[in-house]
Structure 1
Amino acid sequence: MSGPVYLTLPREVLARPVNDIEVRDGPAAVPVPASPDPGAVDLLAERLAGARLPVIVTRSTGADPRTVKLLSDLCLRFSIGVLEHKPRYANVPSSHPLHLGFDIAPALADADVLCFLDMDVPWTPGSGEPRHDAIVVQSGPDPHFGAYPIRGHRSDLSITADTRNLLTALSAALAGRPTDPGRHDRLAAIADRARDRRREVLDAASRAGGTIDKTFMNWALAQVRPPDAVIVNEYWARPDLLGDLEPEGFFGTTPDGGLGWGLPAALGVRLARPDRTVIATVGDGAYMFANPAACHHAMRGHNLPVLTIIAANGRWAAVENSALTMYPDGHAAASKDTTFSELAPIPAFEKYAEASGGHGERVTERSELVPALRRGLHAVREQGRHAVIDVRCA
């Protein structure tokens, strides 16, 4: 996966004279993306064409925005279901007629051909497995992720290929192959049910009262999100609840990311895409780890207005959930002691933005959230000021 590189050398080394070394001008050549083996593509095309319920599963193919249309067109043209499992990018429009949703469990239970595109963890062993009689395909520049110390996901066909090259070759290989005439309708019915469930979740969130929760935050963001917005998510934003996202419209935490990645990443996106509205969706812990004073100072100094929406629930939810999941009968679970994951007292996060000339608001009531988000977007889009909406939530 391409991305920024940070390189540092000691000053003592950098200060030494350079003798008898010839430095060649110009950048090094970028390796050509891997192309798939034609025989493997034909075999995959044969398996997909002959399947009763074929599904392509993706997480990060949208890192190359050119694949979004390729994948969408291929699945629609050849009646193949597409599913996004814990997506890190906008991989395919959620309104795609054969988009089966974001929950992989039904696909693992029902699909007879599963094609995973460049996924390091295609499924979580113990939480669900492909059917014994299903054909499992893994494809990517390194389909078995050989650099990982431990990885044993089953694969009946492994294809080494850049995803764009694979989709291009696969589309040509599928052309003219007959498919089950009832397959499109079966997949479309599954896709409709998945969309209905998402609408039900959002409708319930919009009508509910009481404390703000993260589902309601997604509903509220969906109401105000500009079409050109780029969501940089480190915690609570859910692509399944936000509607269709443009290519390069969503960036989730990368495998090598950590707490505090989201806010600086949003600055980088704003720098690279000055014509887009950038929204950072973070938790209170992630926000503090990002060194927010420095981030907002940089926003002001470099004219990088970003809207930051903080889900401030006063705890390290990931730490707490991991401990209770790993040790359900341990001390923390038995004593209900969560002091190790509490963040109280919670700072007034909105003041970080104000300290550097930005717009800051704190929200505690559901009725306040959408208007506050609109004001934050106005500050970013119309006034060129960074903004923080500090949402106190469950």
Structure 2
Amino acid sequence: MYTASSVFLKSLADSGITHAFVNWGSDHPALLEDLERQMIEPNGQTTLEIITCPNEMVALSAAQGYAQVTGKPAAVIVHVDVGTQSLAGAVHNVDRSRTPVFIYAGASPFSSQGELKGTRNEWIMWIQDIPDQSAIVRQYMRHTAQIGSGSTIAQSVRRSLQIATSEPKGPVYLWARREVMEEEVPESLLEVSYDLQNWPSVEPCGLSPAAANRIASALLSANAPLIITSFLGRNPHAVSALLALSTLLSIPVVSACPTAVNVPFSHPCFAGVTFLAPGTHSPHLRTADTILVLDCDVPWIPKNDCPTPSTRVFVLDSGDPLRTTVAMGAWHVPAELVCRADAELALEQIVEAARKIDEQGAAVGEQVLSTADVRARGQALASQHAALVRELDEAEALYQELPGAPVSVPNIMGVLRRAIREGTPSRGRRSLVLNESISNYPKTWLHMRTEFPGGALSSGGSSLGWALGAAVGAHIGGKIAGLQEDCKDYDLIVAVVGDGSFMFGAPSSAYWMARKYNTPFLTIILNNGGWKSPKLSMLGVHPNGHGSRASGERLSVGFGPDCPNYSQIAVAASAGWAWGERVGDKRENVKDGLERVIAEAIKVVVQERRCAVVDCIVESI
């Protein structure tokens, strides 16, 4: 017997979905029954690989990590309204990061007298029935729809995936009543292919010739051009296009609130990272006369730092330049030109236009690209980059040697970076850093000095608890993406989290999943004893107020006096499979202890293929 659920699962598989991260409930009998049918048939396996997730937010975070690595959506299956709500802040993250994910939730049956198969037979089905289930998540979704019949499921699935994978990419949400998914269907429906051949994603678009020429002319005539980006590196191919333009004209590139590697750290045009706190933006912002804002949600905060009113500004975004789909309410960047264009295509067009304009100028003695000004700008950028490297080196080498002194974040990141290079087969080239260090975002991005596009990611949103689940999903996605010749996963995945982020990540579920599905990763916890960001927010408004002199404990943002033993949470959740240790707790010299523990942790992950957790005590809030 085949049901609408049979068609649903086949439609997902035919459309390229390989994994479903699931949290089952009373609305899923037909799905469970069909999965077992698939198992006992001659093929002996399900069309989708099912990843059991004891926590829904971890499920969606894992699906996000999978999609961030592969560029392809995974499915998430949850239980009625309560499971939808338990997706929690991960819904915000997949929306803001423009990550394609297919979410399905069942719903309470609509019949109660035994009229249809799947009718109500449990008391919870009355209290879990709400007027508009998709309203819970609709404002974060690219598309929501109710499945009404087994005969239309394939079309609903394909339309949803077409939307999810078109710019601006993002999550979609389908739901169905239990009776609908129990509907018996003819075998002929299972003989049809439900691939996406005639449901393609919308092709990326470039700039109009006029726009490309206008931007190229502005950059050619600028004395102090600047590029600001945040997430261009989500498309690794766009990085080389960005480097082509920045190198051609010696333009500094600043990563504002980065969520991906936009520029290799060692490139002289890399002008640093900012998370826009007052006085922390690049000095280039205040001197720039032309700025290209490229795939960036917030290039600057007017109250904190901003360019001069005379600065020419151009905004390019791959799918939502006015933030109407990835809805942000009040949003505005003052610009003379706003364009919807794929970054890779647009940058190639700008480079081509710049070269043509320069060739035309050469005929009348007005060539720009080979002038002394461009060369001097390039030399200045190289000098500034060398100064940045020296500053980072000095910070990483400066250890506090007092008894019981905490370890610094630069120390940790420097040791970690070197240990990855020495302890992985590819010397770090196939390592992935998932950065959810929040108040330590800038230090982590800078001190890890990531070189490779795709080598570091963050959630793209502000809901904490992404990294642990994302590490599991990224490990699974790494195998699918074939990141190594033998299609194994990464050499090493590292999740860098704060102690608050760690607890938000439902570690009991995340490490259970890591053990069950054999997805080892290293967790570095920057343990400052609580939530530092709320305290920083308070100081941003009340720098000299009553709270400015209070400890984290007094402000109720601290986790003391006895903080959890975080590493042992992972050990317990994985039934002793994970390994963990704490550094900076007075037991030995901080420098020696840090190097020993991180080297051991990498060995555990890379050679023994187990999870490792290093709990680093940093300066307390």
TM-score (norm 1): 0.93
The 1:295–1:111 alpha-carbon spacing in structure 2 relative to 1, beyond 3 Å, is same
Match of 2:507 in 1: 292
After superposition, where does 1:324-335 map in structure 2 within 5 Å? 324-333=539-548
For the aligned residues, what is the CA RMSD?
2.2
The 1:386–1:188 alpha-carbon spacing in structure 2 relative to 1, beyond 3 Å, is same
Matched, 1:214 2:430: no
Match of 1:246 in 2: 452
Match of 1:89 in 2: 260
Q: How far did 1:99 drift?
A: 2.1
Name the SS for the 1:150 alignment partner: coil
Q: How far did 1:370 drift?
A: 1.8
Measured in 1, the distance between the counterparts of 2:450 and 2:222 equals: 28
Q: How far did 1:19 drift?
A: 6.9
Measured in 2, the distance between the counterparts of 1:330 and 1:261 equals: 33
The 1:170–1:212 alpha-carbon spacing in structure 2 relative to 1, beyond 3 Å, is same
Match of 2:291 in 1: 114
**Which of 130, 137, 144 is the aligned partner of 2:307?**
130
Measured in 1, the distance between the counterparts of 2:381 and 2:149 equals: 65
Q: Which amino acid aligns with 1:230?
A: L
Q: 2:226, 2:285 within 8 Å by CA — same for their partners in 1?
A: no
Q: 1:100, 1:191 within 8 Å by CA — same for their partners in 2?
A: no
After superposition, where does 1:369-380 map in structure 2 within 5 Å? 369-380=594-605
Matched, 1:6 2:177: no
Name the SS for the 1:231 alignment partner: strand
Name the SS for the 2:379 alignment partner: helix
Measured in 1, the distance between the counterparts of 2:559 and 2:388 equals: 34
Q: How far did 1:21 drift?
A: 4.5
Q: Which amino acid aligns with 2:323?
A: F
C-alpha distance after superposition, 1:194-248 (max 9, x if no partner): 4313422332331331421222222222221241210001013522222243111
The 1:169–1:262 alpha-carbon spacing in structure 2 relative to 1, beyond 3 Å, is same
Measured in 2, the distance between the counterparts of 1:105 and 1:379 equals: 39
Measured in 2, the distance between the counterparts of 1:2 and 1:173 equals: 31
Q: 2:547, 2:555 within 8 Å by CA — same for their partners in 1?
A: no
Measured in 2, the distance between the counterparts of 1:203 and 1:22 equals: 60
Q: Which runs of 4+ in 1 moved over 6 A?
A: none
List alignment gaps of at least 5 residues for structure 2. Answer: 1-97, 111-116, 120-147, 156-193, 275-280, 359-366, 422-427, 480-488, 585-589
Measured in 1, the distance between the counterparts of 2:512 and 2:154 equals: 38
Q: How far did 1:97 drift?
A: 2.3
Name the SS for the 2:316 alignment partner: strand
Match of 1:230 in 2: 432
Matched, 1:189 2:387: no
Q: 1:36, 1:161 within 8 Å by CA — same for their partners in 2?
A: yes
Q: How far did 1:270 drift?
A: 1.3
Q: Which amino acid aligns with 1:385?
A: R
Name the SS for the 1:182 alignment partner: helix
List alignment gaps of at least 5 residues for structure 1. Answer: none
Measured in 2, the distance between the counterparts of 1:76 and 1:193 equals: 15
Match of 1:145 in 2: 323
C-alpha distance after superposition, 1:148-176 (max 9, x if no partner): 21112211221111111111211211114
The 1:159–1:188 alpha-carbon spacing in structure 2 relative to 1, beyond 3 Å, is farther
The 1:366–1:64 alpha-carbon spacing in structure 2 relative to 1, beyond 3 Å, is same
**Which of 548, 554, 558 is the aligned partner of 1:338?**
554
Measured in 2, the distance between the counterparts of 1:172 and 1:56 equals: 17
Q: How far did 1:185 drift?
A: 2.1
Name the SS for the 1:70 alignment partner: helix
Measured in 2, the distance between the counterparts of 1:287 and 1:64 equals: 28
Match of 1:26 in 2: 195
Match of 1:363 in 2: 583
Percent identity reads: 26
Measured in 1, the distance between the counterparts of 2:256 and 2:396 equals: 23
Name the SS for the 1:294 alignment partner: helix
The 1:22–1:305 alpha-carbon spacing in structure 2 relative to 1, beyond 3 Å, is closer
Match of 1:175 in 2: 355
Match of 1:302 in 2: 517
Q: 2:109, 2:118 within 8 Å by CA — same for their partners in 1?
A: yes
Q: 1:37, 1:159 within 8 Å by CA — same for their partners in 2?
A: no
The 1:165–1:15 alpha-carbon spacing in structure 2 relative to 1, beyond 3 Å, is farther
**Which of 163, 169, 182 is the aligned partner of 2:343?**
163
Measured in 2, the distance between the counterparts of 1:361 and 1:22 equals: 49
Measured in 2, the distance between the counterparts of 1:247 and 1:127 equals: 30
C-alpha distance after superposition, 1:10-38 (max 9, x if no partner): 14269578377574433342111132222
Count of paired positions: 393
